[in-house]
Amino acid sequence: MKRKLFSRVLPLVLCLVLTLLTCACSTGETAVSSSQSAAVSSKEEYQPVDMTVMSLKGPTGMGISKLWYDSDAGAAANNYTFKLSSDPTEVSAAVIKGEVDVAAVPTNLASTLYSKTNGNVRVIALNTMGVLYMLEKGETIKSVSDLKGKKICATGEGAVPQFVLNYILSANGIDPEKDVEIEYMGEHAELATAMIAGNVVIGMLPEPNVSTVLSKNSDMRIALNLTEEWEKATEKNGDQSILTMGCLVVRKSFLDEHPEAVVKFLEEYKASVDYVNSDPAAAATIIAGYEIVPAAPIAQKAIPNSNMCCITGSDMKVKLSAFLKVLYDANPNSVGGKLPDDAFYYVK
């Protein structure tokens, strides 16, 4: 009887054991599969993209300096190649030819490029607000009205500086063609050298050239902050705009192909700008190392007055569109003959 019972129970026990073993194996397989899935998922994470970025010397190059440094150290999200120029037209030509993917350009030039490339650029961020200052050797210029009848040396003919100066003068009842003499020089460094030598009494320059002049010629002083004067002028004219001088543009074809790479770039660019603004002393060493500014002490002094930023999305669109509208109303050619449409602004 016992043997019969045992013979009946044994198959059931064996069946139960086999079932438990099967479950255990199944669980093990599931664990392995989960591990493999995690590995596959890890492999499918963001892959670096080759990206060529071109910037101008000065605040736009200063802002990107930490990202450049991190990239050289192999600590950046993308495979960046950085190029530097002192000539906006050189940057413009590189964008039109498709030689660069992202470029830092004056805001009005971005609008012009949008027209010239039949919409093949997108503005992705504002990177520089107002950086223009009127310097004087002496104490006669206390307000914009004091510029009437004077000779002003400046740079930026045909670009934002010229249009800003003309707008401010006109808003204060000064005809730029008749009431003042404006002499434009080719490069900021040329004007800075002339001011350091004492050959220019009144000159309009952007940072960091302002700091260069002030550090080498104690007779020069900042007579007018043109960012403040712009705000006063727009208030008089009923224009609600902020002086937005520099921006970042990307080729549309590159953006369409690598949208995530552009997002990564903007994240890293913002971190770079934040670093430069928060630690001018350390950033100045990096900036001088890449010859964005000739010397670290000049860079350190210029950073607080350079208004570097990284403004994106709808905030960027609101600020830039208002600024371009003011330029357009004053001179349509300043923005390429027409205002860009909404597709110009990358707001995602």
Q: Are 121 and 114 in contact (CB under 8 A)?
A: yes
Determine contact, residues 306/280, Cβ cutoff 8 Å: no
Residue keyed to tokens 């050239």: 209
Q: What is the DSSP string of 24-85?
A: HHHHHHHHHHHHHHHHHHHHTS----EEEEEEETTHHHHHHHHHHHHHHTT-SSSEEEEEEE
Residue type at 318 in one-letter notation: V
User: Each residue's pLDDT tens digit in the chain (348 positions)?
Assistant: 434 433 444 444 334 333 433 444 444 433 334 433 343 333 468 899 999 999 988 888 899 999 999 999 999 999 999 999 988 889 999 999 999 999 999 999 999 999 999 999 999 999 999 999 999 999 999 999 999 999 999 998 888 899 999 999 999 999 999 999 999 998 888 999 999 999 999 999 999 999 999 999 999 999 999 999 999 998 888 877 889 999 999 999 999 999 999 999 999 999 999 999 999 999 999 999 999 998 999 999 999 999 999 999 999 999 999 999 999 988 898 899 999 999 999 997
Scored b (16 or more CB within 10 A) or e, 252-278 reads bebbeebeebbbbbbebbbebbebbbe
Q: Tell me the angle at which helices 160-171 and 226-237 cross, rounded to the nearest 10 degrees.
A: 50
184 residue type, one letter: Y
How far is the C-alpha of 122 from the C-alpha of 265, rounded, in Å? 14
Dist CA 346 CA 250 (whole Å): 9
The domains found in the chain, sorted by start residue, are: 50-129+244-344 (3.40.190.10), 132-237 (3.40.190.10)
Q: How many CA atoms lie within 13 A of 266 on its CB side?
A: 23
As a dihedral over the C-alpha atoms of residue 51, residue 52, residue 56, residue 61, rounded to 10 degrees, the angle is 40
